[in-house]
Amino acid sequence: MRQLADIPHPNVKITLFSWNGKYLIKLEKGALEQTYKVSELDITSEADVYALLDDEFIEAAVQRFALMREDLQAAFDRQGL
């Protein structure tokens, strides 16, 4: 796996990788992460990956992190941990 870029963002850490014919877009917030795989055949260039990372996409990912945190906390609560 080859790291292509760290993409600055104030709310999440975004790292772009290239691996096995795919671009991997990794978003991290605290202990949680989301990874999106995009086939190199589905886009024409690395610049297209950056275009995917528009404000709407990032905002949805940030909201998803909140839901992920809630799901994890609920599992801890159910197990009394």
Domain coordinates in residue numbering, the chain: 2-79
Read off the pLDDT band of 79 (50, 70, 90). Answer: very high
* Edge-first strand listing for the sheet containing 13-19: 2-7, 13-19, 22-29, 32-39
For strand 13-19 and strand 32-39, is the pairing parallel, antiparallel, or unpaired? unpaired
Mean pLDDT along residues 9-26:
96
Ramachandran assignment for 74, one of left (phi > 0), alpha (psi -120 to 50 degrees), beta (any other): alpha
Res 45 pLDDT > 90: no
Read off the pLDDT band of 46 (50, 70, 90). Answer: confident
Res 35 pLDDT > 90: yes
pLDDT digits (tens, 9 = 90+) for 49-77: 999 999 999 999 999 999 999 999 999 99
Are the C-beta atoms of residues 52 and 38 closer than 8 Å to each other?
Answer: yes
Output the average pLDDT for the chain: 96
